[in-house]
């Protein structure tokens, strides 16, 4: 068999007068790169009217602690406490007397417990009195140091140095510092140099401990304000953190205030802050710590926590000034920005990595 021969195909005709064809497209114009919109030409976002985070928590703490009661309020509280104690004592004695009549054995047990309670109450009162004496001793050293610097009296400065050595005589960890002060104090011939030497040898290490306590308190207050949604819970946490920090300041510098003394010390610190206007945070602090309103736009609670942490650092610095036996002479005074930066670094990083 043979294959069939292939037929040649003719040309294909295309009608030129077909109306169904597509219309010609307009010529394409190339867009130059210079004509494209630039991000730099976009209008600036006005954030000047953005509400800045306000330290509501720390302002509430300052009002609770720093507001001194009036004379009528103090009279009412003291009279009420005395009346309550008197009535409680009369009721206890009447109960013990009736119990001795009916059940002598139980009566003697009640007498023993009442005696133990009385001794414990007297012991707590003695501890508060000793704590008050320690704080009064630090206040006296502060006044003597100021007088010695004002009068440039070497004898008064020597008395202040002796008082500092006696204040820290029962702390074995400061034995080396006391020995260095004793070896080098003969080299000083004026009040400023002697008090500067005493500050460097005795208070430099204590200042580092105080800074760490301030950073821990600022970190706690900032984290609590940012993470706790309850309104009164962050106030309670900030109040507890500030009271604990103030008590630790007193312990570091030799005060060791008791329960009542710690509350009075907290009132003294808050009064000092109110007198210097440090609690009412200025625009410079808020703009510095909150980034000029940008942080408030991102997270209002985080901005408030940051400002509350900064105010806690200010409270800690004021507590240092109140509890410190000497003013800041050669040692640098702590800065709020440095303390808050270190506190937030410890909040968001591992402590072992620092």
Q: How far apart are CA 314 and CA 224, in angstroms?
A: 18
Determine the average pLDDT of the residues in 319-324: 87
Q: Residue 96's closest CA among 117, 80, 81, 120?
A: 117
Which residues, at least 6 apart from 88, have a Cβ–Cβ distance to it below 8 Å? none
pLDDT digits (tens, 9 = 90+) for 287-306: 545 444 444 445 666 777 77
pLDDT > 70: what percent of the chain?
66
Helices (H) and strands (E) in the chain, counts: 13, 0
Instruction: For helices 104-151 and 259-276, give the axis angle rounded to 10 degrees.
Output: 30
How would residue 352 be classed by pLDDT, with cut points 50, 70 and 90?
A: very low
Per-residue pLDDT, 72: 84
Percentage of the chain exceeding pLDDT 90: 10
Radius of gyration of the CA atoms of the chain, in A = 37
Q: Which two tokens stand for residue 188?
A: 């000083």
Q: What is the pTM of this model?
A: 0.67
Q: 112 pLDDT band (50/70/90 cuts)?
A: very high
Per residue, the 3-state secondary structure of 177-233, as one string, reads: HHHHHHHHHHHCCCHHHHHHHHHHHHHHHHHHHHHHHHHHHHHHHHHHHHHCCCHHH
The pLDDT-based confidence of 210 (bands split at 50, 70, 90) is very high
> Contact 315/336 with Cβ under 8 angstroms?
no
Answer yes or no: is pLDDT of 151 > 50: yes
Tens of pLDDT, residue by residue over 51-94, are 444 445 555 555 545 556 678 887 888 899 899 989 988 898 88
Measured CA to CA, the distance from residue 337 to residue 243 in angstroms comes to 21
Q: What DSSP string runs through 110-154?
A: HHHHHHHHHHHHHHHHHHHHHHHHHHHHHHHHHHHHHHHHHHT-H
Q: Where are the domains of the chain?
A: 57-67+77-353
How confident is residue 119, by pLDDT bands cut at 50, 70 and 90? very high
Q: pLDDT band for position 351 (50/70/90)?
A: very low
> Is it the case that residue 34 has pLDDT exceeding 70?
no
């Amino acid at each position: 068999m043979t294959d069939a021969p292939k037929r040649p195909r003719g040309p294909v005709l295309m009608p030129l007068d077909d109306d169904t064809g597509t219309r010609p497209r307009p010529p394409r114009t190339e867009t130059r790169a210079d004509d494209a919109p630039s991000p730099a030409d976009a209008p600036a976002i006005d954030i000047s009217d953005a509400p800045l985070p306000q330290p509501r928590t720390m302002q509430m703490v300052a009002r609770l602690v720093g507001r001194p009661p009036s004379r009528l309020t103090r009279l009412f509280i003291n009279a009420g406490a005395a009346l309550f104690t008197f009535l409680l004592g009369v009721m206890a004695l009447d109960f013990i007397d009736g119990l001795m009549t009916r059940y002598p054995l139980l009566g003697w047990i009640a007498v023993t417990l009442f005696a133990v309670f009385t001794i414990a109450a007297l012991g707590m009162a003695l501890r508060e009195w000793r704590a008050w004496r320690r704080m009064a001793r630090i206040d006296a050293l502060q006044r003597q140091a100021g007088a010695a610097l004002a009068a440039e009296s070497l004898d008064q400065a020597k008395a202040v140095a002796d008082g500092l050595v006696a204040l820290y005589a029962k702390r074995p960890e400061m034995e080396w510092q006391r020995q260095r002060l004793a070896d080098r104090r003969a080299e000083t011939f004026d009040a400023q140099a002697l008090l500067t030497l005493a500050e460097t040898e005795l208070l430099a290490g204590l200042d580092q401990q105080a800074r760490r306590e301030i950073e821990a308190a600022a970190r706690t207050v900032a984290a609590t304000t940012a993470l706790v949604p309850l309104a009164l819970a962050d106030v309670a946490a900030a109040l507890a953190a500030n009271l604990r920090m103030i008590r630790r300041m007193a312990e570091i510098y030799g005060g060791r205030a008791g329960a009542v003394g710690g509350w009075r010390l907290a009132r003294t610190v808050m009064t000092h802050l109110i007198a210097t206007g440090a609690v009412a945070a200025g625009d410079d602090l808020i703009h510095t710590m909150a980034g000029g309103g940008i942080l408030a736009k991102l997270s209002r609670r985080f901005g408030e926590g940051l400002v509350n942490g900064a105010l806690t650092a200010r409270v800690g610095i004021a507590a240092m000034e109140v509890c410190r036996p000497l003013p800041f002479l050669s040692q640098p005074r702590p800065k709020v920005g440095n303390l808050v930066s270190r506190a937030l670094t410890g909040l968001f990083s591992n402590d072992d990595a620092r």
